Every structure is written in C-alpha cells, then in structure tokens.
Amino acid sequence: MQHTVIRKKLDNGISLVLVPLSSTEAVTVVVLLGVGSRYESDQQQGLAHFTEHMVFKGGRKYTSTQAIAQSLDAIGGEFNAFTSQEFTGFYTKTASRFLELGIDILSDMVLHAEIPEIELEKEKGVIVEEINMYEDMPMRKVDHVLTQFAFGDTPLGRPILGTKQSVTAFTREDFLKYREQFYKGEQCTVVIAGALNVEQATELVSKYFSEMPKGEPYKSAEGVFAQRNERVFIEERTSEQTHLMLAVKGYKLAHQNRYAYRVLTTILGGNMSSRLFVSVREEQGLCYYVRASPDIYSDIGLLVASAGVDNSRLSLAVSAIMHELQSVRDYPVPEEELNRAKQYLVGKMLLGLEDSEQVAEYYGMQDLLEKDISSPEEVERQTMAVTIEQVQQVAQELLVNENLRLAVIGPQKDREGLEKLLTFS
C-alpha cells in the first residue's frame, strides 16, 4: 500500500499534508491543533474540550449549529471533533466535489467561532451532564482515576472535561483569549486525504485559513510519573462489578523501542488470542473484558492492563494479570506467538488505511505530534523486524515493582491486600 504524500508549509506556519487516493470518491479534511488538556493552566481546566464544543455554535458565515449541520446534511457529509491531552481535532468527510464546502465550514468554525453568551450558558449544562455521565460509568471513570494516580496533580493527570466548578465558571472572554493563545499556524496541521486535486486543495486551504495567525510553537508542562509510597488507589462505590487498571510506566511516543513495545502489549492483551484474554477470561472465567494497551504521550507513557470483574474475585484477577506480566518478562516469547502479534499489528494498520478518514488521521497525527511521517511500508518493516530478544528487553525494562500502579473502582476496601499482590518475584 503506497501513498503519495505531499507536505507543504504555508506562509502562516500551517503544515499542510495532502494524500491523494484513487480508490475512493470521498475526501476527508482534518484540522489538527497541537493543544489539549495538558496545556491548560489551573484556571483553564476543561477549556480545550469546551472550546471544541463551542466552535459548533456558529461563526461568521455559518452562524449556528443548525446552519453548520444543514449545510453538511444537505450533501450527506459527516463532521465531528475530538479533544485529548495533547491535541484537538475537527473534521469533515464529504464527496470529493464538496471539498471546498468542507474546508469553508471548518475554517469558519476554527477561526471565527463567535461564542454566543446564550449558547455558552446552555452548553455549560451539557458538559456538566457529560461529566455526570462518565462519573456513572466506572469502566470509563477508572481510566481517569489511573491517570490521576500515575501523574498526580499535573495537567496530564487532570480530566480532559475539567470539573463542574471549572466549566461553569468560564466566560466568553476566556474562550477568546484561549483561541488567541493557542490556535496558531505553527501548531496546526491540516490534512486532506481522498479524491483530491493537489493544486486545488492547496489553494483552498491557503485561502480559507489565511487569517490564522502564525504564532510561535509552545510547550506543555512536562509529564512526570508520580513517585508514591502507596501503589494502589481505590475509589469505593457500590456496584455490581469492580473495574481495575494495572499499569507500569511506559515509553514516550517516539521512543527507539516503540515497535517492540507495541508488539509486547499486543502479546499481552491486544486481541482475542492474547495472553490476558486466553488466561484471565477464557481459562479462568474471571471477567468479560480484559485487555492491555499502550497509553502514549509525546514525553511519557503507560503500559496498561484493564478488566472488569466480579467484586469477590478482584484479588484473583490481579494475581492472574501479574502472573502473565511476570511470565512475559521472565521467559522469551515463542517465535510463533511473536510472529502472530506482528502480523496482527500490520494487518490492523493496513485494514484501517482503506478509508480516507483513517488515512488522514494516520498521516496527520504523525505530522502534528512527531513532525515526521513514517510510511505504512516503513512501519511494517520496523514491526516485522522486532525480535524475541527485543520484546523481552522491553518487558524487563518496564515491568519493575517500583513502577506498578493499580487503580480500582468498586466496593473494595482491602488496599493492603492488593498492595501485596503487586510484586514481581
């Protein structure tokens, strides 16, 4: 799968990435800004996410949510947005002949959102209910509990949504200052993938995003893995099930061992033939879901195993997960298992790149966060080159007692008992 990738730097600093695809009549436009919740000050908690909401309330040309929605609905287009700790994204997906409309709408939202006072006050209630929703979903809430436990009271450890107190205190001026502070060309990637003409796409982005100020690159607060005497945190609540996340300090995004790292997490819990799934679910019947995955940031990361278990079987589940972690650390992975994990990663990547939206995300995220792009062919080559020795080296480097952290939500009290289980012998 070979793509032609054209990268350009516009006069105002915007990085433009164009990926023409002959296999589709669709085109996806994604505007990525290198700012998320970890860039927020104490007073700005939740502002990145709230800003994502407010740009849909209308700009200069498309003056309301309905105007935006009707313009895209009329052509069968799709649009949405997303916020993480490190970036904010906005996208449209349309038939290729409506490329200009998609770019026009995105530029109006991102550059010219009016932030109407009446809509701002209504949206505060919407986000408070979004916070309430996740508070009532232990399977999702435990992720934040772990992040806060691992990174402490730092921007990286705070909830992306902010708090009820922070979001209800925002004023229109806060949003305007935030946009002026962070929405800069030097920290923006516009990526277009699909049925496109390179010259036309370049002209359209240059035209509609010309008002984005150039600015200077900015940095977030450094990500720090919190050193603690206690390695277990329990949020007690009445529930039918206990949700857990067991983690160790992992690698940053561009770490030299990143390919072996992803192979390791796949072997542990990346699919239905992984060790955790086979052992903890299939053989022992301890849970419905169990998985392992890398949680990766530009300067730090976590390797996380998660599961939802019967309240009475939490200790059994933690012991079972620890057993699999210790096994992959102490014993070389069989070659057949290694090859299966590598082929899985390559296959998932290639299947994902069949869609213009996924192609845009693949190249856009690399450009934004790494300032470099690895082709699918290069990723496949690096992945398939991972050796048994490299996987074990990564496991032995990361799976150490002092970096273990366990976050639990459920009717649990025995923190000391769980603490005793967190030991590699």
- The H or E element spanning position 256 is none
Amino acid in the structure at residue 222: E
CA distances, 174 to each of 44, 115, 130, 168 (Å)? 8, 10, 21, 12
**Measured distance CA(206)–CA(15) in Å, rounded:** 11
- The DSSP output letter for 22 is T
Note the helical H segments in 274-313.
Answer: 275-276
Whether 52 sits among the annotated catalytic residues: the reply is yes
Tokens standing for residue 299: 């300067």
Marked catalytic residue, from 52, 119, 324, 380: 52
Nearest to 390 by CA among 322, 326, 342: 342
Residues in Cβ contact with 75 at an 8 Å cutoff, skipping those fewer than 6 apart: 94, 95, 98, 101
**Measured distance CA(229)–CA(419) in Å, rounded:** 11
DSSP 142-191: HHHHHHHHHH-SSGGGS-TT--HHHHHH--HHHHHHHHHHH--GGGEEEE
Tokens standing for residue 139: 């399977």
**Measured distance CA(349)–CA(336) in Å, rounded:** 20
> What amino acid positions are annotated as catalytic residues?
52
